[in-house]
Amino acid sequence: MAAQFNLTSIQKRYGNKIALELEELTLWPGHLYILTGPNGSGKSTLLNILALLTKPEQGEMAFTGERVTWKNRELNLMRKKVTLLHQSPYLFAGTVSANVAFGLKARGLSGEELQRTVAESLELVGLKGFEERNVRQLSGGEARRVALARAVALKPEMLLLDEPLANMDQESAQVVEQLIASLPDRGTTVVMSTHDPRLNERLEGDVIQLMGGRLASENGRYPAYSSGDQNPGTLKTMLMADALVMLEG
Amino acid sequence: MGFIQESIRTSFSLIFSLDWEVFSAVWTSVGVAAGSIILAALFGIPLGLAIAIGDFPLKRVVITLLNTLMAMPTVVIGLVVYGIISRQGPLGGFGLLFTPMAMVIGQTVLAIPIVANYTLSSVKGADPRILPTALTLGASPLQSVIQLVHEIRFGIMAAIIAGFGRVISEVGVAMMLGGNIRGYTRTMTTAIALETSKGEFAFGLALGIILMIVALIINLLLNFMQQR
């Protein structure tokens, strides 16, 4: 089985600062990955790279076995399979329905099928009947659920979530958490960044911990290894990263 | 004060009597300005978007150049375009000089930097999440830019309003490239300049009032479209 994503020798800098430096990272299809690490550890940078929105200065990336060449045509096709939900997502001016339909229209959907998918997606996030609401009239939690519905509607192979539960009201958080937990069973690989250490206990995902832009372990647990990844290269890299973190510490 | 009241009276009498000369100048002004602003929007909006979104060397220099062009005197633009379209110029063969088309060309050159600059400012002021959001939802770069334009449509409309205000009120380009030919290339502004120089102050002021009314109506119309 081809990995969903394989990153090798990736480096991303912002000015002189190295934001992310990964020897190797492999993400497998149908898994739920929980990305942890302190602020500035490179979580958002990694998510943006995986979303094919940020090009790393160095390194190789393969998506479902296909090398990412960062050429426009190829990027357009790959981006249709990967969707990123930003920490504070942007909703386009207009109705809830228009927002959820945006990506679907970009994929050529129209008519009844489009309307049905929009309605189903809104139902998934507990916002049935919100179609004609103006997005500017939504509460913060509702707006984020609309953004999640907009992403889930596309049935992406990979869904990247940047702190999807941060500052969310309890009702919204419960709905979103349940939906996220169900996504791998629907065939979507999920990578979700969080600061909440209890989230992994509830979602039982594979933990990817970043520290200073590098891959680290959490409590001696090596996520890709524990999730069935028998790739010795990945494990070796993680051990090296762990050693580096310990040395720096 | 008396002559101002007289001018106002004259202006309304000219408007309500449907004076041919006045309406010819109004028609030429509005027609040329509308043609210019449509062309300026077609060039200026994509130019502003490209400069704002693009990452290229000398970007700052290009922005400075664009700002400088905004302050370019209309007579200088008139002079440059005159040199190009006059009989000895590279486009002399088309016989454009002293035609409404020549005025459209000049006013388009005048309005492009204004429209581009306003568009650039709108993009800079727009939410930086718009493009990444559209891209990550699977939109192509072109679809994403179209979505960006939709999100900043009020700014784009402001660009068009500002450009229109500039071209309808300018006199240098219209005078130099149009030649102020009665009933053909005479605009409200060139008519004001001519009538005032002839000592017909009341007539000039009347035209000035009409120019303000026309500008107000068009701005109200554009604002109405903006709010819809």
Q: DSSP secondary structure string, chain A?
A: ---SEEEEEEEEEETTEEEEEEEEEEE-TT-EEEEE--TTSSHHHHHHHHTTSS--SEEEEEETTEEP---HHHHHHHHTTEEEE-SS----SSBHHHHHHHHHHHTT--HHHHHHHHHHHHHHTT-TT-TTSBGGGS-HHHHHHHHHHHHHTT--SEEEEESTTTT--HHHHHHHHHHHHHTGGGT-EEEEE-S-TTHHHHH--EEEEEETTEEE-BTTB-HHHHTT---HHHHHHHHHHHHHHHHH-
Contact B140 A103 (CB under 8 A): no
Query: Which is higher by pLDDT, A73 or A226?
Result: A73
Q: Is A184 in CB contact (< 8 Å) with chain B?
A: no
Instruction: Kindly give the pairing relationship between strand A5-14 and strand A158-162.
Output: unpaired
Which residues in chain A have Cβ-Cβ distances shorter than 8 Å to B141?
Answer: 72, 76
Burial class (CB in 10 A: 0-12, 13-18, 19+), A112: exposed
Q: Is A151 in CB contact (< 8 Å) with chain B?
A: yes
A72: nearest CB among B138, B141, B151: B141
Name residues of chain B where pLDDT drops below 50: none
Span A174-199, mean pLDDT?
Answer: 91
Interface-testing mutation among B137, B150, B228, with chain A (most A C-beta atoms within 10 A): B137
A79: nearest CB among B136, B150, B151: B136
Checking if the pLDDT of A148 tops 60, the result is yes
Contact A106 B130 (CB under 8 A): no
Q: What does the alpha-carbon distance between residue A36 and residue B3 come to, in Å, rounded to a whole number?
A: 79
Query: Which is higher by pLDDT, A13 or A201?
Result: A13
- Choose among A205, A146, A163: nearest CA to A28: A205
Q: What does the alpha-carbon distance between residue A127 and residue A142 come to, in Å, rounded to a whole number?
A: 8
Question: Do A90 and B133 contact (CB within 8 A), yes or no?
Answer: yes
Q: What does the alpha-carbon distance between residue A227 and residue A240 come to, in Å, rounded to a whole number?
A: 19
Q: What does the alpha-carbon distance between residue B56 and residue B67 come to, in Å, rounded to a whole number?
A: 18
Q: Is A44 in CB contact (< 8 Å) with chain B?
A: no
Interface-testing mutation among B127, B136, B156, B228, with chain A (most A C-beta atoms within 10 A): B136
- Closest residue of chain B to A77, computed from CA coordinates: B138
Which residues are CB-contacts of B156 (< 8 A; sequence separation ≥ 6)?
B45, B118, B119, B122, B149
Phi and psi torsions of A207, nearest 5° = -90, 130
Contact B150 A89 (CB under 8 A): no
Query: Which is higher by pLDDT, A237 or A217?
Result: A217
Cα radius of gyration (chain A): 18
Q: Is A150 in CB contact (< 8 Å) with chain B?
A: yes
Cα distance from A68 to chain B (closest Cα, Å)? 16
DSSP states of A29-47: TT-EEEEE--TTSSHHHHH
Checking if the pLDDT of A229 tops 70, the result is no
Q: Is A159 in CB contact (< 8 Å) with chain B?
A: no
Which residues in chain B have Cβ-Cβ distances shorter than 8 Å to A48?
Answer: 132
Q: pTM of the full predicted structure?
A: 0.84
Q: What percent of chain A has pLDDT over 70?
A: 87
Phi and psi torsions of B155, nearest 5° = -65, -40
A150: nearest CB among B129, B132, B137: B137
Q: What does the alpha-carbon distance between residue B153 and residue B146 come to, in Å, rounded to a whole number?
A: 10
pLDDT the model gives residue B113? 97
Q: Which residues of B touch A (CB under 8 A)?
A: 127, 129-130, 132-141, 143, 147, 150-151
pLDDT the model gives residue A242? 40
- Choose among A50, A52, A25, A30: nearest CA to A208: A25
DSSP H stretches of helix in chain B: 2-16, 20-53, 59-70, 74-85, 100-125, 130-136, 141-151, 153-169, 172-173, 188-197, 201-227
pLDDT the model gives residue B155? 93
Span A120-139, mean pLDDT?
Answer: 95
A106: nearest CB among B130, B132, B143: B143
Partners of B8 in beta bridges = none
Confidence grade of residue A198 (pLDDT, cut at 50, 70, 90): confident
B135: nearest CB among A79, A88, A89: A79
Cα distance from B141 to chain A (closest Cα, Å)? 8
- Closest residue of chain B to A156, computed from CA coordinates: B137
Which residues in chain A have Cβ-Cβ distances shorter than 8 Å to B132?
Answer: 48, 53, 84, 86
Instruction: Kindly give the pairing relationship between strand A66-67 and strand A58-63.
Output: antiparallel
Instruction: Kindly give the pairing relationship between strand A158-162 and strand A189-193.
Output: parallel
- Choose among A61, A65, A60, A17: nearest CA to A41: A17
- Choose among A225, A105, A85, A57: nearest CA to A158: A85
CA dihedral angle for residue A8, residue A13, residue A18, residue A24, rounded to 10 degrees: -10
Structure token digits, residue B79: 């002079």
A106: nearest CB among B130, B138, B151: B138
ipTM (interface pTM): 0.83
Q: Is A80 in CB contact (< 8 Å) with chain B?
A: yes
pLDDT the model gives residue A53? 95
Give the largest CA-CA distance in chain A: 59
Contact B130 A53 (CB under 8 A): no
What pLDDT digit, counting tens, does each position of A37-92 carry? 999 999 999 999 999 999 999 999 999 999 999 998 899 999 999 999 999 999 99
Interface-testing mutation among A78, A90, A104, A152, with chain B (most B C-beta atoms within 10 A): A90
What pLDDT digit, counting tens, does each position of B52-104 carry? 999 999 999 999 999 999 999 999 999 999 999 999 999 999 999 999 999 99
CB-defined contacts A:B, below 8 A: 53
pLDDT the model gives residue B93? 93
3-state secondary structure of B10: helix
Which residues are CB-contacts of B71 (< 8 A; sequence separation ≥ 6)?
none
pLDDT the model gives residue A217? 59
pLDDT the model gives residue B228? 65
Interhelix angle for B100-125 vs B59-70, to 10°?
A: 130
For chain B, the distance separating the N- and C-terminal CA atoms, rounded to the nearest angstrom, is: 42
pLDDT the model gives residue A219? 41
Question: Do B106 and B175 contact (CB within 8 A), yes or no?
Answer: no
